[in-house]
């Protein structure tokens, strides 16, 4: 049931319980102290009344009429609270005093349970006197009902005043708590909007410093999510664009490369057919057309191998990354003997997975293509070594490979923009959780990529 209450309801309920408990403890303390207070007051009043009576009656015989004087003293002393004074044997007066003191069943009278809890006892003290040589006595009788009524009035007053103060404190604190927790409702509404995809939602930092800090963090989170969604959208658009570019390149290569070869094959095949139909064997012409057909077939095979290499490196799965890279670098070295290619592939490089191997291969292939096409370099260094990727908020540390391709060419122009090849590789590496940086200077260009493994490490 407690879990169903809101935070504001919980705080208000706890506050009400604390105030009620504090008021109840204070009232209970007053009730428990009532008995000792009544007893102490009763003893004090009785002692003072006795000393006062003894002082007054000391000079009683000097009065013209001692009996009348004594009667007047008794009548005056009965005006005192908490005690009644009577002459010994004066039962009527005693009865009257008892009715005066104990018969007041008015609104100020304490309830029966309170009287039973305090259980006061009347105390009677005898003060001996002498009137013209006749011995007598005055009876001083305590009446604790008056003190109990005063204590009960105090308890009721404290209960009323305490209740009013508790209600005022409760209202003030509830309002303060409500204002302090108001930003939580704003945060909840903002989170709902962000969940629905409204990443431009912002919350004004308000309330206590802790809630203001949460508002700032939520605003930062919304901005980060918005940027991530925008990056994802741009990446999807780029992927589609790159796919279209690759398809256009493949279509152009098929048209430009396969088309002429197929046209030549068709022409030579038609010539062979016409030679065969002529009836006169012309071996030299047949040999010529046959050699031309073989030449075109060889050219088609090379073109086919080049296209397949672009689509999928030949031998990467069968040979492994190390041997496939060795074959690739040998081919580049054979086709560009004037450029020195220095290779360093770490022996401790473990298995990184098919996707990571293909990405490493493609990164080196694309970087070398740019070097030999644009850099005008005479030396290229290729390094592949293992590395550890720092842990992120949603993953532990992962192993990977650091790929570095550097040349001693002329570098990039300040206004240079990356081509589709390296742009596509960067986005591919970023999608895998890695990074690709390109640094250019007077000493050439350095392409460095950190490529995470497929989860094996």
* Residues 325/368, Cβ–Cβ less than 8 Å: no
Residue 99 — pLDDT band, cuts 50, 70, 90? Answer: very low
How big is the chain by its Cα radius of gyration, in Å? Answer: 55
Residues 293-307 have a mean pLDDT of: 79
- On whether the CB atoms of residues 215 and 206 are closer than 8 A, the answer is yes
Between CA 397 and CA 386 the distance in angstroms is 13
The residue whose two tokens read 């139909």 is 277
pLDDT score at 100? 45
DSSP conformation letters of 203-239: ----SSHHHHHHHHHHHHHHHHHHHHHHHHHHHHHHH
| pLDDT surpassing 50 at residue 269 | yes
What is the model's pTM?
0.45
How many Å from the N-terminal Cα to the C-terminal Cα in the chain? Answer: 48
The strand pairing partners of 87, in sequence order, are: 138
- Cα dihedral 327→333→335→337 (10° resolution): -160
3-state secondary structure of 81: coil
Cβ distance 372 to 332 under 8 Å? Answer: yes
Query: What is the length of the chain?
Result: 457
Q: Three-state DSSP class for 64?
A: coil
Q: Give the pLDDT of residue 315.
A: 66
- The per-residue pLDDT for range 31-42, each reduced to its tens digit, is 888 888 888 888
Cα–Cα dist 344/364, whole Å: 13
Q: Taking a C-beta distance cutoff of 8 angstroms, is the pair 366, 329 a contact?
A: no
Given a cut of 60, whether residue 433 has pLDDT beyond it is yes
For residue 108, name the pLDDT band (cuts at 50, 70, 90): low
How would you list the strands of the sheet with 444-452, edge to edge?
340-345, 379-389, 398-407, 444-452, 435-441
**pLDDT tens-digit readout, 314-355:** 667 777 888 888 888 888 888 788 888 888 888 877 777 788
Worst-scoring range by mean pLDDT, 26-30, 66-70, 100-104, 241-245? 100-104
* CA 177 – CA 156 distance, rounded (Å): 31
Long-range contact list for 163-168, CB < 8 A, 24+ apart?
Answer: 163/23, 166/19, 166/20, 166/22, 166/23
Confidence of residue 98 (pLDDT cuts 50, 70, 90): very low
Per-residue confidence (pLDDT) for residue 89, from 0 to 100: 67
Quote the CA–CA distance of 41 and 120 in Å, as a whole number.
Answer: 11
pLDDT in tens, 41-57: 888 888 888 888 888 77
Place of tokens 């009344």: 49
The most confident of 121-130, 230-239, 380-389, 405-414, by mean pLDDT = 380-389
Confidence of residue 96 (pLDDT cuts 50, 70, 90): very low
Q: What is the pLDDT of residue 365?
A: 84
Give one word for 98, left, alpha or beta, with left for phi > 0 and alpha for psi -120 to 50.
alpha
Q: 299 Cβ partners below 8 Å, 6+ apart?
A: 261
Q: Label residue 103 by pLDDT band (50, 70, 90).
A: very low
pLDDT in tens, 357-394: 888 888 888 888 888 877 777 888 888 888 887 665 54
pLDDT at site 312:
67
Q: Which of 172, 194, 174 is nearest to 7 (CA)?
A: 174
- Strands 340-345 and 379-389, sheet pairing: parallel
CA–CA gap between residue 315 and residue 310 (Å, rounded): 13
Mean pLDDT of 118-134: 78
């Amino acid at each position: 049931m407690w879990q169903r209450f809101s935070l504001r309801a919980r705080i208000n309920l706890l506050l009400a319980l604390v105030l009620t408990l504090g008021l109840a403890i204070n009232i209970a303390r007053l009730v428990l102290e009532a008995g000792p207070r009544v007893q102490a007051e009763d003893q004090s009043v009785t002692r003072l009344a006795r000393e006062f009576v003894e002082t007054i009656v000391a000079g009683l015989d000097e009065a013209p009429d001692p009996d009348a004087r004594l009667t007047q003293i008794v009548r005056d002393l009965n005006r005192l609270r908490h005690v009644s004074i009577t002459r010994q044997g004066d039962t009527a007066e005693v009865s009257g005093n008892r009715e005066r003191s104990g018969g007041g069943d008015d609104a100020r009278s304490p309830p029966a349970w309170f009287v039973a809890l305090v259980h006061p006892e009347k105390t009677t003290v005898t003060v001996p006197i002498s009137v013209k040589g006749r011995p007598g006595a005055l009876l001083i009788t305590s009446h604790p009902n008056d003190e109990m009524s005063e204590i009960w009035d105090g308890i009721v007053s404290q209960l009323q005043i305490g209740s009013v103060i508790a209600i005022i404190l409760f209202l003030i604190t509830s309002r303060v708590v409500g204002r302090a927790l108001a930003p939580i409702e704003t945060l909840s509404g903002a989170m709902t909007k962000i969940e629905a995809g409204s990443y431009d939602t912002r919350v004004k930092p308000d309330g206590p410093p802790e809630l203001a800090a949460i508002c700032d963090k939520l605003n930062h989170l919304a901005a980060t999510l918005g940027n991530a969604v925008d990056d994802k959208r741009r990446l999807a658009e780029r992927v589609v664009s790159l796919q279209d570019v690759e398809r256009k390149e493949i279509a152009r290569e098929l048209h430009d490369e396969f088309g002429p070869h197929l046209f030549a094959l068709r022409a030579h095949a038609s010539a062979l057919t016409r030679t065969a139909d002529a009836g006169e064997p012309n071996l030299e012409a047949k040999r010529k057309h046959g050699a031309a057909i073989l030449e075109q077939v060889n050219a088609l095979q090379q073109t086919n191998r080049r296209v397949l290499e672009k689509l999928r490196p030949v031998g990467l799965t069968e040979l492994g990354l190390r041997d496939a890279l060795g074959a690739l670098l040998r081919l580049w070295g054979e086709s560009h003997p004037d450029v020195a290619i220095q290779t360093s592939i770490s022996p401790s490089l473990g298995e990184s997975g098919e996707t990571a191997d293909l990405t490493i291969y493609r990164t080196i292939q694309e970087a070398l293509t740019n070097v030999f096409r644009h850099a005008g370099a005479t030396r290229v260094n290729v390094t592949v070594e293992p590395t550890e990727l720092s842990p992120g908020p949603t993953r532990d540390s992962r192993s990977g490979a650091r790929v570095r391709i550097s040349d001693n060419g002329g570098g990039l122009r300040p206004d240079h923009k990356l081509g589709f090849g390296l742009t596509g590789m960067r986005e591919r590496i970023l999608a895998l959780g890695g990074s690709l940086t390109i640094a250019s200077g007077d000493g050439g260009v350095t392409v460095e990529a950190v490529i995470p493994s497929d989860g094996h490490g």
